[in-house]
Structure 1
Amino acid sequence: MNSTQIKCFLSLAKTLNFTQSAHNMYLSQSTVSKNIKNLEKEIQVKLFDRKYHQIILTEKGKIFYNQMVLSAAEIDDTIQNLRQSRNITRPKIKMGYTDLPFEKKWLPVALRLINTQTNLELVPFFVDPGQEQNINKLISDGTIDLMLMQKDIIHEKEETRYQEILKKGFSVVVYQGDSLFVKSSINFHDLANRRVYLWNGHDNFPAIESLKFSMQSSDTDINFHEEIDSSILIAYVRAKMGIGIVPSILYNKDDTDLRYIPLNTEQRLSYGILSLVNSDKKNNINKINQYIAQAINISKTQW
């Protein structure tokens, strides 16, 4: 289905006359007819009833027309807004990101929503995960205006505020062929007599420390080893040296040989947006935050 087919359909639905539509679109009548036939063939729906010297929309054709009119109007509005904004200076909001797999899902959605539906420009700024402890400084000195991050990492200060967007638990990373691979969720007793690598990228993460305490206090003997680098943890799992436990936010859909299976535990990690309390961009940041939350909700269904 292409734009020419849609334009031919919309025109013919209005005129109900091949000759008139061909004239309006500066096309031959045979070209209009061919585009309509190809469209019907592609979507496998009969859009028009053709009788001698008469063309009428079918019931499904009427439904399709109503939807296409709305879509065409939305496309036209978007194009018009983009054209009008070419010579307008759009306020820039710089957002820090660490290139997590989940960010690769929602960030493009957020960019598209914000840069087409607002007068703002969201500018991504890569932050090395190893420098997350300096996020407050990056925000305070204006290097970035906001950042989506894990609350446990933040050293809260009076000049910054944190707005929670979502909470996620932990997942067990299992290699294909492992007996746990087919499970829909994993309990502590499933970890018995297994070598477990527990991701712990920072000292004194409350949620990590709580999870460690729960495992150590359980009736099951769980042999876990802490690993600060998630990529090394994944390499160990792929080498069949054990299984891993990571925050569910680290799930990578591209790891087709692995499964990230939810761990049944009460511990949850909070993820949200950190920004300055008294920023002169406060109103714009609030607007950006709403679109980021919307983009994350959209992306969660495909994550």
Structure 2
Amino acid sequence: MNFTQLRCFIKAIDNSSFTIAAEQLNFSQSAVSKNIKDLENTIGVTLINRAHHRISLTNAGRYFYHVARNVLDDMDYTVAYLRSQKNDAGNLLRIGVCDTPLEQEVLPLFLRKLRDSGSNLNIQFVFVLKNSIGELLNHHVDICVIARDDVDIVDDIKFESLISGHFVVACPEDSKLAQKKLITLKDLKGKDIFLIDPNGSLNVQMKYQNSLIEEMGMRHIRFVQDFSAMDIYVKAGWGYGILPNFIADYQNNGAKYVPMDYHEISPYGIAYMESFTNVKVLEQVCEIFKKSIMEFLPKQNN
């Protein structure tokens, strides 16, 4: 078994075609077919059903696909990292991000302040929404900006807080609640509420969200897959959204975010492996992130 065989297998499945896989790999179609057949012979099982010029995975193939995908991804990350280390003399810092509205506003500020500080760090952002812990543990990223809840269960990961966490309520701009400085559970009684689906991709603060559900009941609660869907419903006046302050889009037109009178939730900050040794870089990055966030967020939300 070799990486060429794995790559041929993955490309063929991703494109549902030996022909397209061959074009992308700059191989002949017969070479792709032979590599996959050699892979199956080595393992001793059939991975791909070949019938009527269409390909599909067998049960064994479905299992093997995920394993092979992870192996190739790990190898590609490792090679890219080693090459960048060689070219940049150790100045590359890979930061895992979740692509929240807050990050979309803060990360450009962070880069500008980093450049102004005279730093020669080469920053690479990696999207880690679904697997932030795995990306850290597999050394695909050096640090992550995520909620502390996501890292508390792993002893080898350390955390530096950037923002103290609390719930905010997304209100339609023309609603009465949008005029309040603080919203209580009583204010929300009988209102239609949108929460982020605990089975969705943005799986943050679910422990606190569950306690909120226990207090409010399910009658007027609807779940949405992500922030964007919640934003649409709120702007349309269909109800109110409850979400962590570090996900909210404070530059949003059509919605206003009001702090909620509820206990604090887990903070948002920087997570890194205990084995991360460049303390000076970590301190610099944390300091500049904090300055960028303070510059962007309204004072009442810091």
| TM-score interval, smaller chain | 0.5 to 0.7
User: Offset at 1:301?
Assistant: 4.5
Query: In the alignment, is the contact (CA less than 8 A) between 2:128 and 2:135 conserved in 1?
Result: no
Counterparts of 1:301 and 1:231, CA distance in 2: 21
Q: CA deviation at 1:295?
A: 2.4
Alpha-carbon displacement from aligned partner over 1:46-69 (angstroms, at most 9, x marks no partner): xxxxxxxxxxxxxxxxxxxxxxxx
Partner-residue secondary structure (3-state), 1:197: strand
AA at the equivalent of 1:205 = M
Aligned to 1:76: none
Contact 1:187–1:264 (Cα < 8 Å) also in 2? yes
Is the 2:151–2:157 Cα contact (8 Å) retained in structure 1?
no
Which residue is equivalent to 2:181? 184
Residues 148 and 274, structure 1, Cα contact 8 Å, conserved in 2: yes
Aligned: 1:261 with 2:261: no
CA distance in 2, matches of 1:98, 1:265: 25
Bigger radius of gyration among the two:
1
Q: Describe the superposition over 1:115-172 as per-residue Cα deviations: whole angstroms up to 9, x where unpaired.
A: 332444151413152x1xx222212332211011011223632322112222121121
1:153 is aligned to 150
User: Which runs of at least 4 in structure 1 moved beyond 4 Å after TM superposition?
Assistant: 87-90
Q: Deviations over 1:161-191 (max 9, x none)?
A: 1122221211211223323232222111211
Q: Distance in 2 between matches of 1:291 and 1:198?
A: 32
Mapped partners of 2:149, 2:229: distance in 1: 22
Partner of 1:209: 210
Structure 2's unaligned 5+ residue stretches are 1-86
CA RMSD of aligned residues (A): 2.8
Whether contact under 8 Å (2:205, 2:265) holds in the other structure is no
CA separation in 2, counterparts of 1:234 and 1:167? 23
Paired residue type of 1:123: I
CA distance in 1, matches of 2:186, 2:133: 40
CA distance in 1, matches of 2:205, 2:219: 20
- SS in structure 1 at match of 2:178: coil
Task: Indicate the percent of aligned positions where both proteins have the same amino acid.
Answer: 19
Q: How much does 1:254 deviate?
A: 3.5
Cα pair distance change 1:232/1:184, threshold 3 Å: same
In structure 1, what is the Cα distance between the partners aligned to 2:153 and 2:287? Answer: 22
Pair 1:226–1:112, CA change in 2 (3 A): same
Unaligned runs of 5+ in 1: 1-86
Q: 1: CA distance between counterparts of 2:221 and 2:88?
A: 56
Question: How far apart are 1:199 and its partner, in Å?
Answer: 2.4
Amino acid at match of 2:239: G
Contact 2:109–2:292, Cα closer than 8 Å, also in 1? yes
| Alignment pair present for 1:296 and 2:293 | yes
- 2:216 counterpart letter in structure 1: M
Alignment of 1:60-71 (within 5 A): none
- Structure 1 CA distance for aligned equivalents of residues 213 and 119 of structure 2: 46
Tell me how many residue pairs correspond in the alignment. 210
Q: Contact 2:143/2:271 (CA < 8 Å) preserved in 1?
A: yes
Q: In 2, are the aligned partners of 1:152 and 1:205 still within 8 Å (CA)? A: no
In the superposition, relative to structure 1, how do residues 88 and 276 fare at CA in structure 2: closer, same or farther (>3 Å)? Answer: closer
- 1:120 and 1:156 map into 2 onto residues whose CA distance is 34
State the partner residue of 2:196.
Answer: 199
CA distance in 1, matches of 2:114, 2:149: 28
